[in-house]
Structure 1
């Protein structure tokens, strides 16, 4: 704490030569962190406006199979449903027709079985031919096929009897849109979905790129994403798709980032800042954390740590400064160690009278 209380350097004064030495002690290590300078290809950072949207690969749109009257609605917007859960129950005249066909098919099957048994008995007594048996077997086969067809329709359309059928969730996910209410009348030719279900384990972040910046973006570029909802937290990913078309009204091009969202922090509709890392030049320069830079008197400084733990102030020239990293053209070399946390406190202590 002694070095903290000595922070009296005036912002308008250039740093003075230290009148005493300071070392990286064990107690000081608790409040600072040390990083090793490394060479990296010089990059730039493009800031884009983005928004969280559903992953369209995980969206399921649910339509009514038959027209009718909605008797029950079992899901609301925001509910999490599993595949096979009942979303709504609908009473339909078309379902009643299938139920009638089902009963007729059952009766035809019973008749066909009895007819075959009768023909076989007659054949045994010599009153029927093999042709009669083959015909009876064919009628039984047709009756069985019709009964199976009706049974599969009941299973596919979730017909539950009494002219009712159930609308079930085709996938697991969240109800993100609902266009159905109890007692609502549905037409058989309705083209609008009654539910939209989407999984939120993965989401898309769509960002807009202005025409002047199109040459700076590429598929696979690393990105950082921040939101107003979670200040100080970053989501990282890569640009997985560039849409090579411009919106005629906004004159912007869309790019997409897929993000894992297992904790459901990112909600569709959220606005985001998307920071895209793009290539600036082929040069490799020392790269440091921007928090390690100290600006005073129109110059930039860093605090270095030598092999013996001795702390010193060095002036550096900044080639390019980004929100997170800075590239230096001179002052430090690759392999040197610098402070990148609470460096200003140590800097002030080193330059105190």
Structure 2
């Protein structure tokens, strides 16, 4: 009776052990119910055809693949799924020498921090702010000198800053040579012979060369009396900015007696850094801000040299100043406007300058990044204008592009072996 239950006990123990072994085997395989064609699937809803080394796109030695999740033996990194659409997609060869199209799985893109931006039409007009100094227009400055030796008899303009008009008297100068020439003219006028007329013409020419006006010469002939002094008049309308004439002083032809400046049209000299100089052109609109007022102007000249100490170049802006608001040596705020218009633009972080060319990486939508050479234009507000190489709507890599760049170059190098 005791031996009848022993076979049943042994059968039960054997069945329990077999069930435990079966459960362990199923757990180690990850559940065969989640396999397609012997390949373990993930929970993305896309068909996994293989589990590969995350650096598979770089070529040897990262070519390990498996039907099940695990760890790559060459680098110790977890295997990532390769989906059916990725495995069957063929990628065109890059046209950039030394670079290859590179495929990066979405999980790895997220891991290394790849970010994309869309190329779009954008107005990259910008303003350059700097300071400037008001100066006189050098073309509107006139100096008053004598062309003979003499002595100042009378001053009609007595102080610096006095406004004058063209033709106004400035000073009267007594000159023995001038007086002697007038007497020669009177004597020649009394001689009605051909010689007398020749001498009179010579005397008139000499007086005109000494800046005696035609009206003063005619008055001498009409009255028959030589004038003791000659009046020098202002050659332009403006303001006396320099006065060296003193009553009673002896004057020489080399002496500058007055300097008269027309301040109705002035210059503003602005300092622009060499890094911003390429954005400034002759004709660029400018705004000059002085005393709370904004005055319009335009760039008319860009200096040919850069100052060694400040690394700036002088940019000249011309303005009308009929109201006299701007005065020489005043400081002003200057805003140079660079109208660029709409153009294809991408973030400046997307452009990689190699020294000989500029590159960007275009996302093709299937995990593939295509290196492409571009021609850049103006830069402003963190964007580059793209003249060629990128079309509106294309997406470019703006973050982690250095990692994509290194992988692209490595893949190109390995493909040559």
TM-score using structure 1 length: 0.55
User: How far did 1:143 drift?
Assistant: 4.3
Rounded to whole Å, the distance in 1 between the matches of 2:130 and 2:329 is 16
Say if 1:40 and 1:186 are closer, same or farther in 2 by CA, change over 3 A. Answer: farther
Rounded to whole Å, the distance in 1 between the matches of 2:200 and 2:177 is 22
Query: Does residue 274 of structure 1 match 2:338?
Result: no
User: How far did 1:43 drift?
Assistant: 1.8
Query: Could you say which residue in structure 2 is the equivalent of 1:66?
Result: 148
User: How far did 1:163 drift?
Assistant: 3.2
Q: How does 1:101-250 map onto structure 2 within 5 Å?
A: 101-107=184-190, 109-110=191-192, 112=193, 138-139=194-195, 141-143=197-199, 145-146=201-202, 148-149=204-205, 152=208, 154-155=212-213, 161-188=226-253, 190=254, 192-227=255-290, 230-231=291-292, 233-248=293-308, 250=310
Q: Which has the higher contact order (CA 8 A, sep 6+)?
A: 1
Q: CA RMSD in A?
A: 3.0
Q: How does 1:240-319 map onto structure 2 within 5 Å?
A: 240-248=300-308, 250-278=310-338, 282-283=342-343
Q: Is the CA contact 1:240–1:256 (under 8 Å) kept in the aligned structure 2? A: yes
Q: Is the CA contact 2:162–2:239 (under 8 Å) kept in the aligned structure 1? A: yes
Rounded to whole Å, the distance in 2 between the matches of 1:78 and 1:284 is 55
Rounded to whole Å, the distance in 2 between the matches of 1:60 and 1:151 is 22
Q: Is the CA contact 1:65–1:157 (under 8 Å) kept in the aligned structure 2? A: no
User: For 1:177, what is the secondary structure of its paired residue?
Assistant: strand
**Which consecutive unaligned segments of at least 5 residues does structure 1 have?**
1-38, 113-137, 286-318, 322-353
Query: Could you say which residue in structure 2 is the equivalent of 1:89?
Result: 172
User: How far did 1:247 drift?
Assistant: 3.6
Rounded to whole Å, the distance in 2 between the matches of 1:254 and 1:50 is 9
Say if 1:41 and 1:149 are closer, same or farther in 2 by CA, change over 3 A. Answer: same
Q: Is the CA contact 1:99–1:163 (under 8 Å) kept in the aligned structure 2? A: no
Say if 1:241 and 1:157 are closer, same or farther in 2 by CA, change over 3 A. Answer: farther
Q: Is the CA contact 2:185–2:200 (under 8 Å) kept in the aligned structure 1? A: no
User: For 1:183, what is the secondary structure of its paired residue?
Assistant: coil
User: How far did 1:96 drift?
Assistant: 2.3
Deviation per CA, 1:86-139, whole angstroms, max 9, x where unpaired? 0011112221232232233224x24x2xxxxxxxxxxxxxxxxxxxxxxxxx44
Q: Is the CA contact 1:59–1:199 (under 8 Å) kept in the aligned structure 2? A: yes
Rounded to whole Å, the distance in 1 between the matches of 2:187 and 2:152 is 27
Say if 1:79 and 1:163 are closer, same or farther in 2 by CA, change over 3 A. Answer: same
Rounded to whole Å, the distance in 1 between the matches of 2:177 and 2:168 is 23
Say if 1:40 and 1:81 are closer, same or farther in 2 by CA, change over 3 A. Answer: farther
Rounded to whole Å, the distance in 1 between the matches of 2:122 and 2:153 is 65
User: How far did 1:183 drift?
Assistant: 1.6
User: How far did 1:220 drift?
Assistant: 1.2
Say if 1:44 and 1:206 are closer, same or farther in 2 by CA, change over 3 A. Answer: same
Rounded to whole Å, the distance in 1 between the matches of 2:145 and 2:215 is 12
Query: Could you say which residue in structure 1 is the equivalent of 2:126?
Result: 44
Deviation per CA, 1:258-307, whole angstroms, max 9, x where unpaired? 1111111111111111111235785489xxxxxxxxxxxxxxxxxxxxxx
User: For 2:324, what is the secondary structure of its paired residue?
Assistant: coil
Say if 1:69 and 1:47 are closer, same or farther in 2 by CA, change over 3 A. Answer: same
Say if 1:259 and 1:94 are closer, same or farther in 2 by CA, change over 3 A. Answer: same
User: How far did 1:156 drift?
Assistant: 5.8
Say if 1:240 and 1:197 are closer, same or farther in 2 by CA, change over 3 A. Answer: same
Q: Is the CA contact 1:101–1:150 (under 8 Å) kept in the aligned structure 2? A: no
Tell me which protein shows more strand as a share of its residues.
1
